[in-house]
Amino acid sequence: MALDARILLVDDEVRLLEPLSMALEDMGCYVKTAPGPDEAMRCAREDTFQIAFVDNFLGPMRGIDLMQQMAKLDPGLDFVIMTGNPDIDLAVESLKTGAADFIRKPFRIEEMLRSIDYVRRKKALEQQRQEVMAGLELKIKEKTEELELMHFSVLASLSRAVETKDPWTYGHSKRVSGHCRLIATRLGFDEFSIENIGAAALLHDIGKIGISDAILSKKGDLSDEERSVIRSHAQKGVDILSPLKQFEALLPAILHHHENYDGSGYPAGLAGEDIPLCARIIAVADAYDSMLSNRPYRSASDQAAATAELIACSGSQFDGRLVHDFVQALRAGKLDK
Ligand SMILES: [Fe+2]
């Protein structure tokens, strides 16, 4: 059976090249010979081979070093290092530096054929492995995109559910989310954390789904009991989302978005840096957007009045550093409204 391989033989023992070349050609191989590094490099530049048999002792240069230079010219080329040196370290170094096989001189043509067969099988296996890996990577990418799409669909549906429940907040969650993302970007959050706070802000009032319409839309003063029902939306949000594993990281921000910096907020009365940073950011963005919107119990403020109110409440209701960043972003025209 014809071997049909493209072979380059590199050896400064020129007397060996001709009989090896002839034997391989008789078996159907395409063979070129090179008596030194320069000729070998020229052959690799001008022709295409599958396997280069390279003697390790080539006068000024080691075969292993030549192999590395030739590999840069043709990364698909496989190498077999040949040597009369019985040193096992050399064999190990050859394989470590990229040779596919190693044969010791003197060798018979059968050993060369075995080596060609071995190198080709190894190559075929490597190609198969790469194809399997590429297939797996593609599947993982498709699944990841599918999951991301599902994640965003769930997010969009849930935030729409809040707005259906409380028409006064139409567009509010989305605007608060946008504000939070910009503040987070300004604070140097990484991409993942920016996505997280954007999602938490989108869902910060999800607990309102569990509050009666009569209380949510009530004009006029709320009784203590009604106020306590409204306040329960922070915990209710966590109760609604906690079965969804993918929203686990958002829960602290949702639970604590009504905490005040001085500890006077709810539900836990946390103060200062004990309040999760994302919750402190949402508190600022939520209050700002609420002040600019009409609510059942009051009409909208303008931007200057809302900003002044945020500044007035720095250190008491809000984290002053975040208010400062937010106002800077507003003045730089980087936020809506
Ligand atoms: Fe809220």
Q: Which residues pair with 79 in a beta bridge?
A: 52
Phi, then psi, of 334 in degrees rounded to 5: -95, -5
What was the pLDDT predicted at 234?
A: 96
**Residue 241: what residue type?**
L
Q: Residue 80: which H helix or E strand, with range?
A: strand 78-83
What was the pLDDT predicted at 24?
A: 93
In the reported structure, the alpha carbon of residue 185 is separated from the centroid of ligand 1 by a whole-number distance in angstroms of: 22
Phi, then psi, of 104 in degrees rounded to 5: -100, 135
In the reported structure, the alpha carbon of residue 258 is separated from the centroid of ligand 1 by a whole-number distance in angstroms of: 6
What was the pLDDT predicted at 331?
A: 85
Give pLDDT < 70 ranges for the chain. 1-2, 167-168, 170, 294-301, 334-337
All structural domains of the chain: 6-133 (3.40.50.2300), 166-331 (1.10.3210.10)
What was the pLDDT predicted at 86?
A: 76
Residue with tokens 């669909």: 153
Residues with CB under 5 A from ligand 1 (ion): 205
In the reported structure, the alpha carbon of residue 157 is separated from the centroid of ligand 1 by a whole-number distance in angstroms of: 18
In the reported structure, the alpha carbon of residue 104 is separated from the centroid of ligand 1 by a whole-number distance in angstroms of: 78
Q: What is the pLDDT of residues 138-158, one digit of tens each?
A: 999 999 899 888 888 888 888
What was the pLDDT predicted at 337?
A: 45
Closest CA to 74 of 112, 47, 94, 53: 47
Residue with tokens 């081979």: 49
Closest CA to 215 of 233, 231, 229: 229
How far CA 35 is from CA of 50, 111, 165, 205, 292, in Å, comes to: 18, 21, 84, 79, 84
In the reported structure, the alpha carbon of residue 186 is separated from the centroid of ligand 1 by a whole-number distance in angstroms of: 23
